[in-house]
């Protein structure tokens, strides 16, 4: 008869290093669509369709955050986390994240009402974004929070994106990039709060492992979203002749 060895939890520093390592190597800044975007090699249509399809993901964020809120009995946690919903929906509309994304849609020449309707979203993009909501719904609170830790890497990506758009897509007014700029400090704040929560509540190695798995699943969802847009709009050269960006 053998006894199973229970692995002790990682230290705070080692656990955070594991989270960062997995996230950094899998984050969607490495995807071909984003690489082409930041190199200025997307056509106007390809940039527009990224904005249109990504909007559906933006609409899922406050929904998954509401699910996370519903999992917690801690009023202090809920007061902290509900700010994320306000960041996207706003208190009374106006300058929150969803509105800023629609302003970006205006800036790239899309019809705001069409983008907001989500009628033209690719089925694969819709499937990936809905899978994120399902992930949060099905996992424990600490795993659901861990899935949000892609925000660790968002500030650098957003800063890079602003510079790339200003350089390569001057036909988009700099004022329309407000969403990207707003996410830099907010993502930094949100990721710090989330990792602190995860570290405090993932008290066994098994739980730490499940948290990392949730983060990996989230990166796969983001990657799949871009795979769908790449397949539709870049290969095979969707749109007018010569639209291929490679």
Neighbour-count burial of 225, counting CB atoms closer than 10 A to its CB (0-12 exposed, 13-18 middle, 19+ buried): buried
Q: What is the pLDDT of residue 6?
A: 87
Taking only the tens place, the pLDDT of each residue in 69-89 is 999 999 999 999 999 999 999
Within a domain: residue 241?
no
Kindly report the CATH number assigned to the domain that includes residue 43.
1.20.910.10
Q: Cβ neighbours of residue 165 under 8 Å, at least 6 residues apart?
A: 172, 177, 180
67, 130 contact by CB (below 8 A) = no
Within a domain: residue 202?
yes
Domain total of the chain: 1
Phi-psi map region of 94: left, alpha, beta (phi>0 left; psi -120 to 50 alpha): left
pTM across the whole model: 0.92
Taking only the tens place, the pLDDT of each residue in 20-36 is 999 999 999 999 999 99
- Domain boundaries, position 194: 12-233
Within a domain: residue 132?
yes
Taking only the tens place, the pLDDT of each residue in 115-132 is 999 999 999 999 999 999
Within a domain: residue 163?
yes
Which long-range contacts does 86-90 make (Cβ < 8 Å, 24+ apart)? 87/186, 88/58, 88/61, 88/62, 89/62
**Tokens found for residue 89:** 């929906």
Give the CA distances from residue 23 to residues 1, 20, 49, 50, 213, in Å, rounded to whole numbers and listed in that order: 39, 5, 26, 22, 10
Within a domain: residue 2?
no
Q: Does 236 score more than 70 pLDDT?
A: no
- Average pLDDT of span 222-238: 88
Within a domain: residue 104?
yes
Within a domain: residue 238?
no
Within a domain: residue 244?
no
Taking only the tens place, the pLDDT of each residue in 167-216 is 999 999 999 999 999 989 999 999 999 999 999 999 999 999 999 999 99
Residue with tokens 């929904």: 63
């Amino acid at each position: 008869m053998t006894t199973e060895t229970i692995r002790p939890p990682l230290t705070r520093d080692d656990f955070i290093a594991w989270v960062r390592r997995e996230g950094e190597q899998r984050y969607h800044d490495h995807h071909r669509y984003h690489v082409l975007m930041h190199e200025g090699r997307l056509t106007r249509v390809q940039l527009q369709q990224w904005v249109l399809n990504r909007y559906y993901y933006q609409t899922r964020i406050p929904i998954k955050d509401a699910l996370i809120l519903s999992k917690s009995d801690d009023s202090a946690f809920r007061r902290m986390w509900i700010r994320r919903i306000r960041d996207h929906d706003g208190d009374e509309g106006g300058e929150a994240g969803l509105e800023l994304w629609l302003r970006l849609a205006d800036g790239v020449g899309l019809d705001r009402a069409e983008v907001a309707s989500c009628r033209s979203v690719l089925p694969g993009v819709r499937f990936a974004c809905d899978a994120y909501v399902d992930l949060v719904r099905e996992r424990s609170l600490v795993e659901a929070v861990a899935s949000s830790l892609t925000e660790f890497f968002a500030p650098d990506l957003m800063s890079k994106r602003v510079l790339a758009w200003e350089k390569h897509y001057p036909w988009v007014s700099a004022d329309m990039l407000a969403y990207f700029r707003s996410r830099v400090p907010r993502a930094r704040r949100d990721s710090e709060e989330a990792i602190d929560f995860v570290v405090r509540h993932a008290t066994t190695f098994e739980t730490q492992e499940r948290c990392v798995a949730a983060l990996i699943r989230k990166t796969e969802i983001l990657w799949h979203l871009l795979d769908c847009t790449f397949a539709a709009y870049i290969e095979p050269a969707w749109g007018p002749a010569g639209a291929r960006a490679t």
